[in-house]
Structure 1
Amino acid sequence: MHPHCELNLFKKWPSFMEKARPILKNLKSPDINLLDENLQEDATNYIFFKLMSCKMSPTVKVPIKENGKKRFYKPSIVESQNSFILHVTNQSEIKNKLEQYQKMHLSRGTTFQPLVIAVGPTSKDLKDFYVAVESVLYKVDQLLKAVDVCFKVIHVTNVQYPLECLSIWSFIQKYFYNLHNKNDKKISSVYCFISDLTD
């Protein structure tokens, strides 16, 4: 669909980390101190994605159905992080978590969106990575590749970004892939972060 930008995430990620580190270190988050630790590449990337969710916290209200009535709620930062990259401690936890995720969407009247899954006992020790599309798991060998595959699946299948993590997916679309669509939601935190990175 967009052959000119297929490798953009990998090409731009190192310089992004360098520019983003001092900006993200100003956030109030328990994950900040992990940026100074000598972690494996996937763990460091995971921390960056979690902090990006803090920097661009959810602003879009998510519609849900309760007792046949529709209402709106604002997702928390943790919900945003988990709908972008779901961290589970072991392989056996994946099926249960995906079933919970599907039930949640069914009860809300929303659809299951492609999801990145990171497996490891802690966020500092991640072992395996998957992209979940409905009930099918696609195994990939690193977190950044999982995010790239998930982004492309969303676009190829023409589904919307999950509203809980709309900000972070919109940022990835605009900053890394340089894709701009006329129907994109204007999210101020996304444009502010991009501006901070280009100053």
Structure 2
Amino acid sequence: MEPSQCFVIVERKALLQASNLKAVDVCFKVFYILDISYPWQCSTTWEFFQKVAFGLEDAGGNSKTLSAVIAMRTTLKKSVEH
């Protein structure tokens, strides 16, 4: 089932997005640009997007990468090499 509309909520304003992918992209960028901590319930997912999909490290480069993100990055690199 595909949703007919997708929104990102910022400052209590609903911003209509063209697709689910665009909504995830905008949502991630809002977290990152505004330097908002990821909610703990989905921090692994957002960290994956940040470090693997976008190739962005934490400011200062001193944050530990979650082991689940490291494992997924390694698996993806191996699958691309083969």
Matched positions, count: 76
For 2:36, the equivalent position in structure 1 comes to 159
2:19 alignment partner in structure 1: 142
Match of 1:190 among 57, 64, 69: 69
Q: What amino acid maps onto 1:187 in structure 2?
A: L
1:64-122 deviation line (CA, Å, top 9, x unaligned)? xxxxxxxxxxxxxxxxxxxxxxxxxxxxxxxxxxxxxxxxxxxxxxxxxxxxxxxxxxx
CA RMSD of aligned residues (A): 1.3
Pairing 1:1-199 to 2, within 5 Å after superposition: 124-181=1-58, 182-199=61-78
Identity of aligned residues (%): 34
Amino acid at match of 2:65: K
**Distance across 1 between alignment mates of 2:8 and 2:62:** 26
Distance 2:62 2:3 in 1: 36
Partner of 1:113: none
Cα distance in 1 for partners of 2:5, 2:73 equals: 30
Amino acid at match of 2:70: Y
Any unmatched runs of 5+ in structure 1?
1-123
Aligned-partner SS, 2:7: strand
Aligned partner of residue 131 in structure 1, secondary structure: strand
Distance 1:140 1:168 in 2: 20
Runs of 4+ in 1 over 3 A off after TM superposition: none
Find the residue that maps to 1:137 and give its secondary structure.
strand
TM-score (norm 1): 0.36
SS in structure 2 at match of 1:165:
helix
Relative to the length of structure 2, the TM-score reads 0.83
